[in-house]
Every structure is written in structure tokens, then in C-alpha cells.
Amino acid sequence: NAGVTQTPKFQVLKTGQSMTLQCAQDMNHEYMSWYRQDPGMGLRLIHYSVGAGITDQGEVPNGYNVSRSTTEDFPLRLLSAAPSQTSVYFCASSYSTQGGNNEQFFGPGTRLTVL
Amino acid sequence: AQSVAQPEDQVNVAEGNPLTVKCTYSVSGNPYLFWYVQYPNRGLQFLLKYITGDNLVKGSYGFEAEFNKSQTSFHLKKPSALVSDSALYFCAVRDPRGTDKLIFGTGTRLQVFP
């Protein structure tokens, strides 16, 4: 298994540009999520999905869109990039149960810089 | 509100000495608690979790954590630190309002000196 994969590893954007961060998992996990990691702030949840066709907002959703058309893929779209979106982005997945006691598997991250 | 606190930005310890990385939580209901480790330029890796049962939980790489309900704490411990343990450690609690949603602490950088 490849686990959770993310592309690209690095990206530089200009303010106002749009782009999509890709995330895929091959573990048949129901739950997928996107986090951003900023110094001194830990990881903050952007959006999450509990299954194909179902998405919801996390703690910091503004400026980002997601969709979940398949179990495997969960892309994150930046609509109009802003310098405040400079961060490291992590995708994660887990086998969701009603109990919610499953550990999450993280991708290697995408380092995004917005100029 | 649900929250996790890691009161130390950095912990320094000599190789061979015991280490403790502190975590306290605030959550309604029974907490599901997790520890993750992040090595430089890598994603987070799961270390261990507490769901129910024994208060002392054993995990990967010789780490363990002690759940203390009265003190609302879940400190990460290791009897003998290695230089290779140097990394960023995150405590997290499951958000009781969602299935697998996690609330993370701000992280503690562990530096183990030879």
C-alpha cells in the first residue's frame, strides 16, 4: 500500500491564483481530512469528509473548497490564493467507525508559499 | 469548548535519561486521546492512543503514556531517551461532536542531546 499520497510536495503561487492540492489513499478509508500546520499553532482542520459525496467544514474553511467524488481522492482547492494561506498542508485518512477511535494516517505534506 | 494544551514548547533531555512530554485536555464525555510524532519534513506518525481500559498505554518506539482522569492529563513518557527521538510531538483528542475529527495541541519539540 502506498498509504496517503499528496501532490505536489512544494508549490509557489502568486496572490489571486487558484490551485488544487491532491490527496489520495489506497486503504479504503471512509474518513479523510485536510489540515494546515503553522508555527506555534499546531494542526488546524480545514475540511473533512466521512465518505464519498459527504464533506463538511472544519475550524478554518474560508478560502478553501473540497469535494469527495470517490473514496480514494480528496482534493483541496484554493480559490484565490492569499499570503495568509502560506502553510504546510497535510491530508489524513482513517477507517471511520461510530466509535471514532481509529488513528489517522497522514500524507507527507505540501509546502505552499503564496507571494 | 474542546481543547488540548501542551504547556512546553520545547523539552530538552540527555540521551539515556527518562523523558516526559506533557499534555492536558478539556473535553466533554469520555476522552479519546492520541499522540503523534513528526520528524523533520515528514507527515505525522501515530504513536499511541487511549480509548478505554488501562491508564498506562504502550505504543511505538518504546513510548508510553499515562491517562489521568482526575488531572485531565495524558503525558507521554519514555524510560530512556534516544537522540533519534528528537522530533515534534503532538497530543490530540477526538472531537466528541464528530466521528474521527481530532483537536491537536500546538506541539512540543523534543531535543535529545548526546
Q: Is the pLDDT of residue B86 over 90?
A: yes
Q: Is residue B45 left, alpha or beta, with left meaning phi > 0 and alpha meaning psi from -120 to 50?
A: beta
Q: Is the pLDDT of residue A108 over 70?
A: yes
Cβ atoms A47, A34 nearer than 8 A:
yes
| B53 and A CB contact within 8 Å | no
Q: Is the pLDDT of residue A100 over 70?
A: no
Q: Which residues pair with B33 in a beta bridge?
A: B50, B93
Report how far apart, in Å, the C-alpha atoms of A48 and of each of A14, A24, A31, A77, B70 are: 26, 14, 7, 13, 32
Tell me what the mean pLDDT of segment B19-44 comes to: 92
Q: Tell me the three state secondary structure of residue B104.
A: strand
Cβ atoms A81, A15 nearer than 8 A:
yes
Q: Which residues pair with B20 in a beta bridge?
A: B77
For residue A68, the distance in angstroms to the closest alpha carbon of chain B comes to: 17
Query: Residues A97, A44, B68, CA angle at the centre, nearest 5°?
Result: 65
Q: In the prediction, which pLDDT does A95 show?
A: 86
Tell me what the mean pLDDT of segment B12-20 comes to: 98
Q: Is the pLDDT of residue B52 over 90?
A: no
Report how far apart, in Å, the C-alpha atoms of B78 and of each of B21, B35, B55, B81 are: 9, 13, 15, 6
Q: Is the pLDDT of residue A41 over 90?
A: no
Q: Give the distance from CA B105 to its chain's centroid.
A: 9
Tell me what the mean pLDDT of segment B84-110 comes to: 88
Residues A12-29 have pLDDT tens digits of: 999 999 999 999 999 999
Residues A44-59 have pLDDT tens digits of: 999 999 999 999 999 9
Q: In the prediction, which pLDDT does A40 show?
A: 83
Query: End-to-end distance of chain A based on CA atoms, in angstroms?
Result: 36
B-chain CB neighbours of A92 within 8 Å are 44
B-chain CB neighbours of A47 within 8 Å are none
Q: Give the lowest-confidence range in A31-40, A61-70, B92-101.
A: B92-101
Q: Is the pLDDT of residue A71 over 70?
A: yes
Tell me if A104 and B101 make a contact (CB, 8 A cut-off).
no
Tell me what the mean pLDDT of segment B93-97 comes to: 78
CA B49, CA A102: separation in Å to the nearest integer? 9
Q: In the prediction, which pLDDT does B99 show?
A: 64
Residue type at position A13: L
Residues A84-98 have pLDDT tens digits of: 999 999 999 998 765
Average pLDDT, chain B: 92
Name the residue among A100, A106, A109 with its Cβ closest to that of B100.
A100
Query: Would you mind telling me the total number of residues written for chain B in this entry?
Result: 114
Q: Is the pLDDT of residue B108 over 70?
A: yes
